Amino acid sequence: MNTADLGLPVAVPSTALFTDHYELTMVQAALRGGTADRRSVFEVFTRRLPEGRRYGVVAGTGRVLDAVANFRFEPEILEFLREREVVDEPTLKWLADYRFRGDISGYPEGEVYFPGSPVMRVEGTFAECVLLETVVLSILNHDSAVAAAASRMAVAARGRPLIEMGARRTHELSAVAAARAAYVGGFSTTSDLAAGFRYGIPTVGTSAHAFTLLHDTERDAFTAQVESMGSGTTLLVDTYDVAEAVRTAVEVAGPGLGAVRIDSGDLLLLAHRVRQQLDGLGARDTRIIVTSDLDEYAIASLAAAPVDAYGVGTQLVTGSGHPTASMVYKLVARADSCDPGAPLRPVAKKSMGGKLSVGGVKWAARRPDADGVAEAEVVGTGEVPAELADHLLTVDLVRGGEIVARERLEAARERHLRARDGLPLSATQLSRGEPVLPTEYTVG
């Protein structure tokens, strides 16, 4: 439902209804009460990482920019809101003219984050900012959850290519965003054609068990595939007996066979056996791809196995146990009047249940130690200490309603690699632990 980061010609329906009912009723009440135009700052942050995780990964920023640009209340939407009596006529009139004219800044896509990191800041009138809450959180919470899982898997794969193939395990459009987030997190390719179409991510795939079963013999299936796709293709070798399939595959395709894929069984054992068999058959360059319910731990356990690429589905698109980040969108400061020049006052909920929020407009910096390795995430209000001025994390994304930070998806992917490389070594341990950087608050 969002245009491609690369400007591909995808139809972009309005994103205005990806919104909770209460955002609109709040606008109505604020319009009527005369507070709708109070200058306000909302902050996106998370109070905690998923249990045991060392870092989070910001993903979805490019999609947020698209969503904001296309957040318009078209006539059919207004008619729906009128018929259902969601809001009153003055509010409908205000919505009809709505476009976001404020400012958005935040951590750039691919950057890592920690508890309390001000991942995104949305600034404008209360009414124009509050409307964006739901769609901003939907995108960041989903995409960041997948990117974090992808990043861990990429660490575990130690440079071997990762193929995203989880489309069938998640909502069909969630799948497209998941492929995008996986790419940011370090995956190389995807099976999802829509992700190729929208985001230019390389797509891959050859055949499933059904293709083998369609034929009278496995040999017939391999022959049909090689005749159609050439010997560089990947043959699936675990429909019946793996050893027999590998023998047949090399007989049919020759020693130039591109790859074999194993989708079940003891992958560690099978990878060794198949490698030995392929080498014995002279197919030394034939690669081995494994694809059976992998997660970062299974990938790590195959580090010493002769595996050339991993295909990952379910665990990737479901965030490897954590299908959503827990980012929230909170009002942290607002003016006392609708005068555009009125100063901002920090605000925060004070209540039971540990949901304490830190008010105020914040900056964030990642402080390096003497060796240039990050040692703390510093979040502050007021003036930025001079020694942190070169380490600020936040960039402008939207100024006065105009997007100022479009970038290629590769830029986010490369940024993530750099950001991860800048963390202490323990960041890439898969074992459970505390966030690899402490978050320090300083009040200026």
Q: Which stretch binds a copy of itself (CB under 8 A): 49-57, 249-257, 262-270, 423-431?
A: 262-270
94 near a copy of itself (CB under 8 A): no
Among 59, 67, 149, 182, binds a copy of itself (CB under 8 A): 67
Order of all β-strands in the sheet with 395-399? 344-346, 327-335, 39-46, 120-125, 103-106, 395-399, 402-403
Contact status: 177 vs a copy of itself (CB under 8 A):
yes
Amino acid occupying residue 287: R
- Distance in Å, CB of 348 to a copy of itself, minimum: 7
Nearer to a copy of itself, 240 or 282 (CB): 240
Interface residue with a copy of itself among 204, 289, 405, 423 (CB under 8 A) is 204
Q: Nearest to residue 81, comparing CAs of 130, 131, 73?
A: 73
Query: Scanning residues 97 to 136, which ones bind a copy of itself (CB under 8 A)?
Result: 126, 130, 133-135
**Residue 1 touching a copy of itself (CB under 8 A):** yes
CA distances from 433 to 188, 311, 359, 387, 427 (A): 28, 27, 28, 29, 9
CB of 206 to a copy of itself, least distance (A): 5
Of 3, 4, 5, 24, the residue at the interface with a copy of itself (CB under 8 A) is 24
Contact residue for a copy of itself among 103, 128, 218, 238 (CB under 8 A):
238
Contacts of a copy of itself in 31-50 (CB under 8 A): 31-33, 35, 38, 40, 42
Q: Which of 52, 232, 240, 434 binds a copy of itself (CB under 8 A)?
A: 240
Which residues, 349 to 368, sit near a copy of itself by CB under 8 A?
349-353, 355
Phi, psi dihedrals of residue 230, rounded to the nearest 5°: 85, 165
H or E, element range at 55: none
Q: How many residues bind a copy of itself (CB under 8 A)?
A: 111
Cα–Cα distances in angstroms (integers) from residue 437 to residues 145, 247, 308, 368, 433, in the given order: 19, 51, 33, 11, 11
How many angstroms separate the CA atoms of 403 and 95, rounded? 21
Q: Which of 78, 161, 219, 229 binds a copy of itself (CB under 8 A)?
A: 229
Tell me: does residue 82 bind a copy of itself (CB under 8 A).
Answer: no
Does the footprint of a copy of itself cover residue 272 (CB under 8 A)?
no
Task: Return phi, psi of residue 91, to 5°.
Answer: -70, -40
Shortest CB 406 distance to a copy of itself, Å: 20
If the CB atoms of residues 138 and 286 are measured against a copy of itself, the closer one turns out to be 138
What's the min distance (Å) between Cβ of 213 and a copy of itself?
4
The footprint of a copy of itself on residues 293-322 (CB under 8 A) is 314, 317-319
Helix, strand, or coil (residue 26): helix
| Cβ–Cβ < 8 Å for 211, 221 | yes
DSSP code string of 231-283: TTSEEE--SS-HHHHHHHHHHHH-TT--EEEE-SS-HHHHHHHHHHHHHHTT-
Q: Applying CB under 8 A, does 370 fall inside the site for a copy of itself?
A: no
Nearest to 242 by CA among 303, 311, 288: 288
Q: How far is the CB of 218 from a copy of itself (least distance, A)?
A: 11
Instruction: By CB under 8 A, tell whether 334 contacts a copy of itself.
Output: yes
Binding mask 184-203 toward a copy of itself (x if CB under 8 A, else -) reads: -------xxxx-xx-----x
Which lies closer to a copy of itself via its Cβ, residue 95 or residue 388?
A: 95
- The reply to whether 225 sits near a copy of itself by the rule CB under 8 A is yes
* Residues paired with residue 89 on neighbouring β-strands, in sequence order: none
Query: 309 forms bridges with which residues in the sheet?
Result: 289
Pick from 297, 235, 246, 251: nearest CA to 272: 246
Counting contacts by CB under 8 A, is residue 137 touching a copy of itself?
Answer: yes
Interaction of residue 342 with a copy of itself, rule CB under 8 A: no
Q: Is 268 in the site for a copy of itself (CB under 8 A)?
A: no
Judged on CB neighbours under 10 Å (0-12, 13-18, 19+), 370 is: exposed
Q: Which one, 145 or 419, has the nearer CB to a copy of itself?
A: 145
